[in-house]
Structure 1
Amino acid sequence: MKKSMHQEGIWNVCLSRKINASRRNLAFLSCASGNPIDDCWRCDPNWKKNRQRLADCAIGFGKHAIGGRDGKIYVVTDSGDDAVNPKPGTLRYGVIQNEPLWIIFARDMGIKLKQELMMNSFKTIDGRCTSVHIAGGACITIQYVTNIIIHGLNIHDCEQKGNAYVRDSPEHYGWRTLSDGDGVSIFGGSHIWVDHCSLSNCRDGLIDVVTCCHTWPIYVGLWPTQSEPRWHFS
């Protein structure tokens, strides 16, 4: 049944109150930056030793996304890419593993992906304190997985790739048809939080969300740098 304007107004007010309550709870440890997510983790001078705390700082629909909070730290040391047989130390090797992982970067780097980066469940890609650019090739695909956090990445100049084999777990790789060229493509995922990322100049859209509903919470908070950002929600 279609909601009346009155019902819609009540729903919007309730949602606003829930978000404001989340902000107030995070502000309990505020460093007065004005951003409740930043304040939640930046107040700790030793935050680099407890990076996983970021998973407790989300607000909005993706606030239950834990990413790789309960797993080990995985450090990306190699900017190279192999879509089928990724080397240890590369970003792709980390995101396809079966266990939870909190993925960080050893240094500033640019990563040109040869094919879509197919993420496995319970992963965090944490670009804080480094300048990481995923650009000039394929970009990120989140498909039928859960608990993903992507924070602090620069994703731009994404291109169409595909008609190739791509690995999505240590045990499996499969044929991928031509991709759209989105910065981040989300298809049927759940508990996903994309935050503090910059996206621009992608072949199709910046973020494309397909087959999503209110039972599959997703929260996006970022700063698009295109003059006319393109958001696709289907």
Structure 2
Amino acid sequence: MVSLLPYGDVDFSLRAMAGRAEGFGRFSIGGLNGPLYFVTNLAGFPPLPSSRDDGPGSLRDGCRRKEPLWIVFEVSGTIHLSSYLSVSSYKTIDGRGQSVKLTGKGLRLKECEHIIICNLQFEGGRGHDVDGIQIKPNSRHIWIDRCSLSDYDDGLIDITRQSTDITVSRCYFAQHDKTMLIGADPSHIGDRCIRVTIHHCFFDGTRQRQPRVRFGKVHLYNNYTRNWGIYAVCASVESQIYSQCNIYEAGNKKKTFEFYTEKAADKEEQKSGFIKSEGDILLNGAQPCSQTEHREGCMFHPSEYYPTWTMEAPSHSFKDVLQLCTGWSSISRPKDLPVCN
């Protein structure tokens, strides 16, 4: 079988990724129009506890700058974040060519736009409300691609507070409980604007929230989710989840799709969300949606928002491909070729 994995040519040159995401995050250009910023120092400068992970040549210094930047790494290793690392608009954080792991805290995308995060590892985030990547509030045009995320005290990726137009692709999720939350609270009715695409990702034994959604519209396609601990995908208040050509392989727990009923702050009655499962394959006793759970009249179709996406019928061989091709990889950093206008 020849797999139709997307983005086969984005590693031809450094900035070929810009604007190439599939799905809702397809307009993200990251730091396309800015210079390269080289991360040369993972420990911070000077290397003292009071200034850890900061200073000239640090990732934190590059992310806080206001101008567009394409951030690349000259060194490999672990960045111990002493606090959330805030990312400003028009940034690409490009881990190709090195092995960079973020630990301690995570990235915060707050009121920003046009962010690309590529080929990083997130592991061992500690503390209350500490997520690997926290996207809130009012952030948009974001693409998270080919990252590995595991073992945080809260979520691995959280998308809340009117953040929208986001794609998560080719990522690997493992060793975690509350994996991905989209829409944090039934009182946040502004989250009706949320739109997220999740595709070609591998959820490897994560316990729940692959994802859990409130209010938003989410397109899941060509993902592989196995051995969850409670459920695979959850639709809460008013959410619409279009699950298309995914592989769901149950472990001890067989419930694939969960529906939680909640009351939106501006409504009188409680409602759950909606799921349409189309072309999914269910393995090892994974349970399908029932007809009453579909409620197709309340479901969006991705073609209302974007014309094409790279998708193939799920199969056992495709499952093997996703296990090999998701998450951080040891790919070389492409050359920064001139951009043709």
TM-score by length of 1: 0.70
Is residue 150 of structure 2 the alignment partner of residue 200 of structure 1?
yes
Is residue 124 of structure 2 the alignment partner of residue 152 of structure 1?
no
More helix by share: 1
Question: Where in structure 2 are the equivalents of 1:72-91 lying within 5 Å?
Answer: 72-81=35-44, 86-91=54-59
Which of 64, 69, 79 in structure 1 is aligned with 2:32?
69
Is residue 74 of structure 2 the alignment partner of residue 106 of structure 1?
yes
Is residue 60 of structure 2 the alignment partner of residue 92 of structure 1?
yes
Residue 124 of structure 1: CA displacement? 0.5
Q: Give aligned pairs, total.
A: 175
Which of 220, 227, 234 in structure 1 is aligned with 2:168?
220
| 1:111–1:128 CA distance, 2 compared to 1 (3 A) | same
- Supply the AA of the counterpart residue of 2:88: N
| 1:35–1:232 CA distance, 2 compared to 1 (3 A) | same
d(CA) in 1 for partners of 2:77, 2:158: 25
| 1:212–1:112 CA distance, 2 compared to 1 (3 A) | same
Residue 35 of structure 1: CA displacement? 2.0
Question: Where in structure 2 are the equivalents of 1:1-234 lying within 5 Å?
Answer: 34-37=4-7, 39-42=8-11, 44=12, 47=13, 51-81=14-44, 86-135=54-103, 137-160=104-127, 180-187=129-136, 188-212=138-162, 216-221=164-169, 222-226=171-175, 228=177, 230-234=179-183
- Supply the AA of the counterpart residue of 1:149: I
Per mean C-alpha deviation after superposition, the further-off stretch among 61-70 and 216-225 is: 216-225
Structure number with larger C-alpha Rg: 2
Contact 1:210/1:233 (CA < 8 Å) preserved in 2? yes
Contact 2:43/2:52 (CA < 8 Å) preserved in 1? no
d(CA) in 1 for partners of 2:149, 2:41: 22
Match of 1:171 in 2: none
Contact 2:108/2:133 (CA < 8 Å) preserved in 1? yes
Contact 1:83/1:92 (CA < 8 Å) preserved in 2? no
Residue 220 of structure 1: CA displacement? 1.1
Residue 231 of structure 1: CA displacement? 1.0
Classify the secondary structure of the residue corresponding to 1:92: helix
- Supply the AA of the counterpart residue of 1:217: D
Contact 2:42/2:53 (CA < 8 Å) preserved in 1? no
- Supply the AA of the counterpart residue of 1:118: S
Classify the secondary structure of the residue corresponding to 2:174: coil
Residue 129 of structure 1: CA displacement? 1.8
| 1:95–1:33 CA distance, 2 compared to 1 (3 A) | farther
Classify the secondary structure of the residue corresponding to 1:104: strand
d(CA) in 1 for partners of 2:74, 2:122: 18
Residue 212 of structure 1: CA displacement? 2.7
Contact 2:53/2:79 (CA < 8 Å) preserved in 1? no
Classify the secondary structure of the residue corresponding to 1:148: strand
Classify the secondary structure of the residue corresponding to 1:64: coil
- Percentage of identical aligned residues: 35
